[in-house]
């Protein structure tokens, strides 16, 4: 595999990504916020959220679903809530525009929420909770997606893959961050198994009769399952509710209907909750944050990994040598840029 990779600097990668997005017609704010995120993911070796995403972006923009120049509108009128209307643009610029208000409110009140509405999903949630945690706050983020996942005890899809992400600030280390889908597996993983002619593991999906299946095609026609049985299913329902109706946005079933079979990125809402330890802890903050460090040590001292630990190790590794990019992908991205220019 390593012979298929080459290394480019983060600056070059960001330039390439930005140039493609600008050539595609995105406003500079959208181009910048997306380029920043895909380059971060590439450097962390989260390839499925890295530069590869730009190709999907070209597809989605060409379909005309997403407004590539949408200007997010920030409404801070509720004391503890920031509402950002993404106006059918990508989510990342809306996040960026609302973030200072979210941090400001949480720092004054102790806790605050940000609701991003009418956005097209872009990338994972970990870059967002990581950034909030880098500001010293605790963050929780969630979104619905498209209804591919059956509730526990059911056979027809209701929920999305509904990710949940969490970030915790650490003084002398990268934030503690996790970001997981509440489905047992990613939909893309099932598709990849299908293309490779490989059976999928049990527990990922059921067929349209509700029977457990290891056949990728039957799984995609049936329903995916949540992780962790009825507990994962409950969690997925919570995400539907809090990042859907609570913030005046669509559930996964509504978002899928809205898509109308186009297969675009899900259009939906996102809820982010931020909490400020300084307000909770005051002068005792140092002492209490050390309790958290003791817990992290109790995990890592026995050889278990913290979530995101592998990602941070990749980031450190790639800081000097540059970002690993598949040679074929890099060529495709350069061709895409040439064809757009």
- Interface positions, 245-264, toward its own copies (CB under 8 A): 245-248, 250-251, 253-254
Query: In angstroms, what is the minimal distance from the CB of 254 to its own copies?
Result: 7
Query: In angstroms, what is the minimal distance from the CB of 181 to its own copies?
Result: 8
Q: Which is nearer to its own copies, 52 or 126 (CB)?
A: 126
Beta-carbon contacts of 229 under 8 Å, excluding residues fewer than 6 positions away, are 152
Q: Which is nearer to its own copies, 44 or 240 (CB)?
A: 240
Sign for the pseudo-dihedral over CA of 174, 303, 141, 220: positive
Whether residue 228 contacts residue 181, with contact meaning beta carbons closer than 8 Å, is answered with no
For residue 154, what are the CA distances in angstroms to 17, 214, 223? 42, 18, 9
Q: Which is nearer to its own copies, 20 or 165 (CB)?
A: 165
SS3 label, residue 233: helix
Query: In angstroms, what is the minimal distance from the CB of 151 to its own copies?
Result: 5
- List the interface residues with its own copies, window 136-195 (CB under 8 A): 138, 140, 150-156, 158, 164, 166, 168, 176, 178, 180, 182
Among residues 189, 240, 254, 270, the one annotated as catalytic is 189
Sign for the pseudo-dihedral over CA of 11, 13, 16, 19: negative
Please confirm, yes or no, whether 49 is among the known catalytic residues: yes
Among 113, 116, 124, 267, binds its own copies (CB under 8 A): 113
Query: In angstroms, what is the minimal distance from the CB of 292 to its own copies?
Result: 4
- List the interface residues with its own copies, window 229-248 (CB under 8 A): 229-232, 234-235, 237-238, 240-242, 244-248
- List the interface residues with its own copies, window 272-311 (CB under 8 A): 273, 275, 277, 279-281, 284, 288-289, 291-292, 294-295, 298-299, 302-305, 307
- CB crowding 188-225: b at 16 or more within 10 Å, else e: ebbeebbeeeeebeeebbbbeeeeebbbbebbbebbbb
Kindly provide the residue ranges of all beta strands, DSSP E only, lying in the chain, ordered along the sequence.
Answer: 5-8, 73-75, 81-85, 111-120, 138-142, 163-168, 176-181, 205-206, 223-224, 267-275, 323-326
Query: In angstroms, what is the minimal distance from the CB of 86 to its own copies?
Result: 16
Helices (H), strands (E): how many in the chain? 13, 11
Task: With CA atoms as reference, report the closest residue to 16 among 69, 56, 52, 65.
Answer: 52
Q: Which is nearer to its own copies, 217 or 295 (CB)?
A: 295
Query: In angstroms, what is the minimal distance from the CB of 65 to its own copies?
Result: 21
Q: Which is nearer to its own copies, 237 or 264 (CB)?
A: 237
Q: Is 209 in the site for its own copies (CB under 8 A)?
A: no
Q: Which is nearer to its own copies, 154 or 322 (CB)?
A: 154
CA angle 282, 286, 289 (to 5 degrees): 100
Q: Which is nearer to its own copies, 210 or 322 (CB)?
A: 210
Look at the block and give the residue holding tokens 């997306």.
34
Q: Please name every residue paired with 226 in a beta bridge, in sequence order, or none if there are none.
A: 183
Query: In angstroms, what is the minimal distance from the CB of 231 to its own copies?
Result: 5
Beta-carbon contacts of 26 under 8 Å, excluding residues fewer than 6 positions away, are 34, 61, 68, 69, 90
Site string for its own copies, 77-96 (x = CB under 8 A): -xxxx-x-------------
Please confirm, yes or no, whether 48 is among the known catalytic residues: yes
Site string for its own copies, 31-70 (x = CB under 8 A): ----------------------------------------
Among residues 30, 49, 146, 268, the one annotated as catalytic is 49
Q: Please name every residue paired with 277 in a beta bridge, in sequence order, or none if there are none.
A: none
Among residues 48, 208, 212, 230, the one annotated as catalytic is 48
Give catalytic residues, as residue numbers: 48-49, 189
């Amino acid at each position: 595999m390593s012979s298929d990779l080459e290394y480019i600097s983060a600056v070059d990668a960001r330039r390439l990504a930005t140039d493609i997005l600008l050539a595609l017609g995105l406003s500079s704010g959208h181009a910048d916020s997306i380029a920043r995120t895909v380059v971060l993911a590439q450097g962390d070796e989260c390839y499925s959220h890295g530069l590869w995403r730009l190709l999907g972006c070209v597809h989605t923009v060409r379909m005309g679903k997403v407004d590539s120049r949408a200007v997010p509108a920030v409404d801070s009128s509720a004391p503890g809530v920031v509402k950002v209307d993404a106006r059918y643009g990508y989510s990342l610029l809306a996040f960026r525009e609302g973030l200072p208000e979210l941090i400001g409110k949480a720092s004054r009140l102790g806790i605050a929420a940000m609701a991003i509405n009418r956005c097209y999903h872009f990338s994972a949630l970990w870059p967002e909770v990581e950034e909030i945690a880098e500001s010293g706050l605790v963050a929780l983020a969630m979104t619905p997606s498209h209804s591919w996942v059956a509730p526990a005890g059911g056979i027809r899809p209701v929920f999305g893959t509904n990710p949940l992400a969490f970030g915790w600030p650490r003084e002398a280390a990268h934030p503690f961050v996790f970001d997981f889908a509440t489905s047992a597996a990613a939909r893309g993983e099932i598709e990849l198994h299908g293309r490779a002619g490989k059976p999928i593991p049990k527990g990922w999906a059921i067929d349209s009769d509700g029977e457990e299946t290891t056949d990728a095609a039957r799984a995609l026609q049936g329903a995916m399952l949540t992780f962790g049985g009825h507990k994962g299913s409950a969690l997925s329902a919570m995400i539907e509710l809090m990042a859907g109706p609570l913030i005046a946005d669509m559930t996964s079933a509504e978002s899928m209907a809205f898509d109308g079979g186009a297969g675009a990125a899900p259009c939906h809402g996102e809820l982010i909750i931020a909490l400020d330890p300084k307000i909770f802890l005051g002068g005792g903050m140092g002492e209490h944050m050390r309790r958290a460090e003791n817990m992290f040590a109790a995990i890592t001292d026995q050889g278990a990994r913290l979530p995101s630990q592998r990602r941070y190790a990749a980031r450190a590794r790639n800081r000097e040598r540059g970002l690993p990019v598949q040679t074929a992908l890099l060529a495709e991205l350069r061709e895409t840029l040439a064809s757009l220019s």
